[in-house]
């Protein structure tokens, strides 16, 4: 019995000592470890095999400060891939020039004959990708400051989403390389393109499907209150007319938007290093001024 009482007393004494020690321990907890840089390839944002994105997360990111750029490839809505050489170079340049951005490089469903993935499949994928990134901000440690950037068809999808959709997030800025903006004009004045190709993508002509053409045209939704947009356009572009597409869009946007035509330069897939360097210089200045 004495042994039992001794053991109980010892346990009580140990517990009291432990509590006393913890209550007097003023050692601060270790600081949280900063987020390390990470690359996450082929993350699915939808059920289709083409609904994937490559994610590039910077070190020391946070939900308060880390800006997001969602990048969209071109290819006439029927071809192209996030892993194309020009896109790889595009991403590398963005990472070097804007190391504080988290970059999400997306694929989307491509249209194919006959009638597979016609519009608005690509528009819907753009929205699904934006929604996915927004809903996973806490997972990736990124903020709600979103920029959309795209080339050619990707520029079209970026601008269309930014001007048309304002939930769950208002896009802060658009970077548009030669993106089509007026699908009616693209059909009626195709230049080196194809009216038949636009009709295939949109399921008919402007006469038979006017609502679809309007709903798929960024210029139809653009106004002076739309988010700041930088448009970079070759004046000799035979696929996307500088005046009826890019300049017409600029004329509908607010004073914070900028239009930079390149004389004698064609579509974005033909640009040389000097043109791209100048374009990225302008983009850096533009984003620094408009995305805080």
For residue range 43-61, list pLDDT tens digits in order.
999 999 999 999 999 999 9
Task: Tell me the percentage of the chain whose pLDDT exceeds 90.
Answer: 87
Rounded distance, CA 211 to CA 193, Å? 22
**Model confidence at 65: pLDDT above 60:** yes
Residue 237 confidence (pLDDT): 98
For residue range 9-39, list pLDDT tens digits in order.
434 344 433 444 444 556 777 666 779 999 9
**Model confidence at 276: pLDDT above 90:** yes
pLDDT, average across residues 170-183 = 98
Judge if pTM exceeds 0.85.
Answer: yes
For residue range 186-241, list pLDDT tens digits in order.
999 999 899 999 999 999 999 999 999 999 999 999 999 999 999 999 999 999 99
DSSP single-letter state for residue 38: E
**Model confidence at 290: pLDDT above 90:** yes
**Model confidence at 90: pLDDT above 50:** yes
By the 8 A CB rule, do 179 and 154 touch?
A: yes
pLDDT, average across residues 116-137 = 98
């Amino acid at each position: 019995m004495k042994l039992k009482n001794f053991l109980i007393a010892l346990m009580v004494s140990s517990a009291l000592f432990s509590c006393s020690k913890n209550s007097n321990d003023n050692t601060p907890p270790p600081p949280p470890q900063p987020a390390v840089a990470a690359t996450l390839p082929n993350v699915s944002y939808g059920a289709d095999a083409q609904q994937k994105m490559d994610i590039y997360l910077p070190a020391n990111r946070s939900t308060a400060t880390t800006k997001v750029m969602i990048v969209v490839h071109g290819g006439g809505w029927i071809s192209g891939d996030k892993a194309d050489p020009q896109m790889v170079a595009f991403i590398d340049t963005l990472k070097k020039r804007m190391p504080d951005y988290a970059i999400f490089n997306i694929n989307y469903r491509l249209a194919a004959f006959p009638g597979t993935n016609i519009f608005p499949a690509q528009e819907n994928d753009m929205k699904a990708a934006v929604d996915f990134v927004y809903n996973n901000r806490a997972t990736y440690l990124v903020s709600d400051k979103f920029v959309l950037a795209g080339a050619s068809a990707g520029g079209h999808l970026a601008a269309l989403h930014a001007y048309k959709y304002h939930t769950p997030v208002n896009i802060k800025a658009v970077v548009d390389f030669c993106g089509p903006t007026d699908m009616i004009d693209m059909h009626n004045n195709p230049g080196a393109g194809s009216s038949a190709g636009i009709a295939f993508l949109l399921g008919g002509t402007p006469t038979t499907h006017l609502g679809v053409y309007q709903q798929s045209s960024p210029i139809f939704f653009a106004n002076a209150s739309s988010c700041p947009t930088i448009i970079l356009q070759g004046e000799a572009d035979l696929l996307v007319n500088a005046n009826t597409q890019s300049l017409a869009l600029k004329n509908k946007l607010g004073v914070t938007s900028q239009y930079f035509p390149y004389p004698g330069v064609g579509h974005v897939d033909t640009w040389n290093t000097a043109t791209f360097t100048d374009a990225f210089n302008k983009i850096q200045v533009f984003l620094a001024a408009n995305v805080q």
